Structure 1
Amino acid sequence: MPVPLQRDPHRTREAITQWLADRFPAEGTPTIGALSTPDETGFSGETLLCDVKWNHQGRSLVRPLAVKVAPARHHLLPDSSWHRQVRLQELLATTDVPVARIHGSESSGELLGAPFVVMERIDGRVPGDIPSYHRSGWLTELRAADRAQVWNGGLQLMARLHRLGPDTLDLSFLDDPAHGRAYGPVGMRRQFGACMAHLEFYGVQDDPVVLRAADWLRDHRPEEPGPPRLLWGDARIGNIIYSGHTPVALLDWEMATLGAPESDLAWYLFTDRYLSEGLGLPRLPGLPGRRETVATYASLLGRPLRDFASYEVFAAFRFSLITSRVTRLMTGTGIQWPSGRTPYLRSAALLARVLDEAGEASCPG
């Protein structure tokens, strides 16, 4: 959900200027231009865009920067993952997975009211969530073949992430007790346990569709053989920067965890389904469908997908929890929903549909 710039621009520029001057004294005196926010900024955090000019020994240098501020008011998830996502992004910058390079981070909230990270700003464009990229925006203006390139390019980068060997990076910080070891072994079992422990936080502890899905998932959690892989968590084309039709960077590591690649692919598919079918919109021609996407990803992984229906139900279940939280937070700001069709009601209806499909697929004959 886009969040407009709500802080005082002058004071914010002063704070960032002070931080840059203290952090990079050898660069000279920085001057920060106008602040803006991207159209795709998340509801729970802020991203501030600016051009910074340094004058040093008669030399002028301009750098486009992005300043991402940790959530201070709206927390979509029950556990803070700010420092973990910053650390992960720094680690990924040493791999062939394209992410924005971090110039530095601030762990205190003294300057901007919350911790923040300063990173390079990558030029490009991102498919929008509001309004859905199925309704308007640059994807609607592309040829069908170009849309397929956008979709499959995202799959290729996600597979690059999943192909990182378990020993490639030290990801033990994603497996610490505070992050959920008490909920069981890594993978869907832990993620499901964490969701169930926080139903009240999401406001769905008495919701019949959510509880029905929870019962189904208890009976259909996969074994997940093999070593766990790094998962993006919020895997979707709306978290990818594209240059033309080519993906150039993955964004947003707030939900990163360890588990099976099927989990990311199911989220990739379900979030797209919500932004089309869930909102009553026709899906854009050219975007590969479920069957083709599953086949493509199996080829990229080099193995068949396992128990994929379970991951699809879990994606729909988890998405409903998050949209319930978003709905409650946004309603608290006074937002009125047309015809009462809140994001949660739409996602819950789609969750029920996914459950019905999973039940039909499991029936003999």
Structure 2
Amino acid sequence: MADSDEVARPQVSNRDLNEVHDRLVSWLAGRLPDGADPHVSELSIPATNGMSSETLLFDATWTEDGATRAERCVVRMRPALEAKPVFPTYDLDKQYRVMTLVGERCGIPVPKLLWNEPDEAPLGAPFFVMGRADGAAPPDVMPYTIDSWLLKADPADRRRLQEASVAIVAEIHGIEATPEEIAFLQLEQPGDSALRRHLNDLKAFYEWGIEGRRVPLLDRAFTWLEDNFPEDPGADVISWGDARIGNILYVDFAPTAVLDWEMAAVGPRELDLAWMVFIHDFFQDIATRYGGLPGIPDLLRREDVYAQYERLTGHTPVNTHYFEVYSAVRHGVVMARIAHRQEFFGERVMPEDLDETVLHRALIEKMLEGTYWDSLSAATESAGTTEETAQ
């Protein structure tokens, strides 16, 4: 099993939830009709997923038009600036707008949007409120490949979940929108293509997040990304940004809500496809290499994901090795930043070898060596032989 420091959930907030609760009640009273007399339950923090925007859960009741209204609510808010946020900026208004656009233009289940508050005065940070959907997401902590309802599920049910999840990505990418309508999703870094702006944005995030303490592995990986930058990155679409099953709620293996849009942008389709594939590889690696467990080797295999996406959209995924390396580096930058946050909250001591802040350093090293995909093929063949033997 992995050391507890490596898989434990980092602290996500240093706010006084009692104070937030009282300010939330006052704000809600101002948003509702006179005499609504809102009541808000005790605030709670989700236990398994998410370490970026602060997420708070509560139940609200109030009186409207002579009747009692009730909503199970979720607040998404910018983390306190003094608490070493994961990302340098948090555009909550952008998240609200992209969720509105996606909900209007395609059939995927986006949470019910209730209120958007761009002013930081009421709670100390911009936030928005949405309805809480039923369902459960495969957990990040402990990873779903180690212990979860998904791990214990029948393979046929896992396959249903996988295919429904890939279909969500395909639907998002199929949204028709003018450049003007999605201009708010364009990243601000310079570049002659959306992918170039995306890479420059990632570099800027890395430089900000490491606070002068460079991670040699990530430096080498950025050189690789520059040396292998695709000549033709492909057509741009609305990119969900954090396309993974841990950001989807499911009931009976069917999606009920698509969450976490803070990394949404404009970019090639493969940004989302490779991210979905790699993040599962990351959790699978935790199970097998750190935990000595089988994990879920038949889930989200790249050949299955890419083939289904092509069937649904007619688009053949291209430059997939590049985008998988890009995903691994992107996740590495996030992990390096989270390590600084853990140090700030007294949850870890920074190692002398800063490559150790990247839990999947071995995967990135294999990618840079060019041996990563061969090792995956061997593991897939081994898993298939084991399944045949068991049958």
TM-score of the pair, normalised by structure 2: 0.83
Return the alpha-carbon distance in structure 2 between the equivalents of residues 230 and 128 of structure 1.
26
What does residue 355 of structure 1 align with? 368
Compute the displacement of 1:161 (Å).
0.2
- Say which of 156, 160, 183 aligns to 1:145: 156
Verify the 8 A CA contact 2:158 2:253 in the aligned structure 1: yes
1:232 aligns with 2:237: no
Residues 188, 221 of structure 1: 8 Å contact kept: no
User: In structure 2, what is the equivalent of residue 37 of structure 1?
Assistant: 45
Match of 2:100 in 1: 90
- Per-residue CA deviation, residues 246-294 of structure 1 (Å, 9 max, x unaligned), is 0122111111111111111111111111112145253315424222222
Q: Tell me by how many angstroms 1:311 deviates.
A: 0.6
Counterpart among 80, 84, 89 of residue 79 in structure 1: 89
1:128 paired with 2:135, answer no
Match of 1:315 among 309, 321, 327: 327
Residue type at the aligned position of 2:26: Q
Deviations 1:189-225 (A, max 9, x none): 2111222334332328743322222222212212346
Which residue in 1 is equivalent to 2:126?
115
Q: Do the aligned partners of 1:49 and 1:66 also contact (CA within 8 Å) in 2? A: yes
Change (3 A) 1:95 1:40: farther
User: Please, which of 199, 203, 212 is the counterpart of residue 196 of structure 1?
Assistant: 203
Distance in 2, Cα, partners of 1:114 & 1:94: 27
Write the deviation string for residues 29-85 of structure 1: whole angstroms up to 9, x where unpaired.
211122222123522332111111123465222211111111222322233333222
8 Å CA contact 2:11, 2:342 repeated in 1: no
Gaps of 5+ in 1: none
> Aligned letter for 1:245?
F
Counterpart residue number, 1:69: 77
The equivalent of 2:385 in structure 1 is none
Deviation at 1:23? Answer: 0.9
Letter of the aligned partner of 1:162 in structure 2?
A: H
Amino acid paired to 1:354: M
Map of 2:340 onto structure 1: 328
- Pick the aligned partner of 1:262 from 270, 279, 284: 270
Contact persistence 2:23–2:122 (CA under 8 A): yes
* Amino acid aligned to 1:350: L
Structure 1 residue 234: deviation in Å? 1.0
How many residue pairs match? The answer is 357
Equivalent residue of 1:47, what SS?
strand
Name the SS of the counterpart of 1:299 in structure 2. helix
The alpha carbon displacement at 1:351 in A equals 1.0
Identity %: 31
Q: 1:9 to 1:324 in 2, by over 3 A?
A: closer
Long gaps (5+) in structure 2: 1-8, 375-391
Per-residue displacement from partner, 1:307-329 (whole Å, max 9, x unpaired)? 11111111111111111001111
Deviation per residue, 1:92-133 (Å, 9 max, x gap): 221223211221122222232211111111111111111100
- TM-score of the aligned structures, taking structure 1 as reference length: 0.88
- What letter matches 2:98 in structure 1? L
Deviation by residue 1:122-163 (Cα, 9 ceiling, x = unmatched)? 111111111100111221221111112222211111110011
Aligned residue in 1 for 2:378: none
Change in Cα spacing, 1:288 to 1:181, as seen in structure 2 (3 Å) is: closer
Relative to structure 2, which stretch is displaced further, 192-201 or 247-256? 192-201
Instruction: Name the CA shift for 1:4/1:81 in 2 (closer, same or farther; >3 Å).
Output: closer
Question: After the TM superposition, which of the residue ranges 53-62 and 83-92 deviates more from structure 2?
Answer: 53-62
- Whether 1:345 and 2:358 are equivalent positions in the alignment is yes
CA distance in 2, matches of 1:120, 1:114: 20
SS in 2 for 1:35: coil
Is this contact kept in 1: 2:280–2:300, CA < 8 A? no
In 1, Cα distance between equivalents of 2:92 and 2:98: 10
